[in-house]
Amino acid sequence: MRRASVENMRKALMRSNTRLLLSAVMLFQFSAMLLIAFQERPYDAQALILAAAIPAATWLVTMLFGKIWPVDRAIVILAMLLCSVGVITLSDIARAKSTPLTQAIYAAVGVGAMAFGIAFIRGLKNWKRLVVPGMVLCLLALLSPWVLGRWQYGARNWIVLVQDKLTIQPSEFMKPALILILAAGFSGRPRFLKCAPTIAFAALCCGVLLSQRDLGALLLYFLTTVLMYFAATSNWVVTLGGLGLGGAAAVIAYRAFPYVQTRVAIWKNPWIDPLESGHQIVQALIAIGSGGLFGMGLGLGRPRNIPLYHSDFIFAAIAEEFGLVLSICLLAIYVLVILRGMVVAMNARTSFHSLAAFGIVAMLGLQTMLIVGGNTKLIPLTGVTLPLVSAGGSSLVSTFLSFGILLGISSLNAEDEAKDIERMELREEVFS
């Protein structure tokens, strides 16, 4: 009985903290959108509608998901917060009025994908049987741009569904599929030979992405594979060997492909050609510097001077408008999500679920590091999006799907924990 009382107190405290977090997030969403709405005279009707719709959607999704499944509501709230930061930023800086509304529509689709991810991972019982079909599907999807796609931003990784209106990026949607395949192939602490087919599959995916010049996705796929393999096996020799081979491949790619040399040269010194090849990173650095500690204020900066300010360089735009302090707060939100995700991974009862949760947070962390590092010139620009914040339907829906898988695993953990507590209480009653 004492154990049950302690557990009830813990759950009550968690519910209270969740309500406080939800209230704070909804207040931020409403206040920010309301401020944007009244920047225009008399007011921006679309922003005013979003000021009511975004907090309402956050509350509804959090409550609904929590009622249907015992998910980690804090992760749901933080995911909705990150998504709302994207809509708020785009409402402020986008040239077209339709951009934030489009992003909100993509977010609604993403919430549906998140629900699907929860249901899928909860219903997935024999994941080993899905490995081979998953590999085939993943490779076909990655190869599809060579048949149906076009070159865009220096890479052939887009499929055009509606000319100049609707495109999809298969490499984005295959991120959660890759994580599940790797988790299934590496589960059970296998030896290297048993992991070899899965590693070969990941290497083949990286080769396809290299042929399409999708360097951002290539780096994410490679690093996620290495991290998940090490998490599954703790094999330092193979892990370091894989990193060494990756480094050697990077050197070969640098010498073989002129566009890679150009990107490295721009990273080293973008001021050599500030009006052409170095224009993006130069404008991003100027924007970050202009923002200072507390930013220039909503609508007062010039983020539109940055090419791709709404996607690849949205962190620089946020830093200019909101400043260094709030930019760090944004990164802290990602850290909180990663920490909550690591708890989910450590509490999982099977190696498959543990590795899947770890893979999701690893890819999330890597993707965030790549875009922030590229925007601040810490590393060469790789052309990835800031998860849930950057404009783009493929990235947004794919990330929500990954969050759904993570939430599904957290719900399974909660159910297993509840069963354990019930068994312990029954045992105490029997022996008391």
Q: In terms of residue numbers, what domain contains 384?
A: 2-431
Let me know: does 323 contact 292? Beta carbons within 8 Å. Answer: yes
3-state secondary structure of 160: strand
Taking only the tens place, the pLDDT of each residue in 172-210 is: 889 999 999 999 999 877 788 888 899 999 999 998 888
Encode burial over 161-183: b for 16+ CB neighbours within 10 A, e otherwise. eeeeeebbbbbbbbbbbbbbbbb
Cβ neighbours of 329 (radius 10 Å): 12
Contact partners, residue 122, CB within 8 Å, separation at least 6: 69, 408, 411, 412
Taking only the tens place, the pLDDT of each residue in 385-400 is: 899 999 888 899 999 9
Percent of the chain with pLDDT over 90: 43
Structural domains of the chain, count: 1
pLDDT value of position 431: 67
Taking only the tens place, the pLDDT of each residue in 102-128 is: 899 999 999 999 999 999 999 988 888
- The residue ranges of the chain whose pLDDT is under 50 are 1
Total-model pTM: 0.92
Cβ neighbours of 64 (radius 10 Å): 13
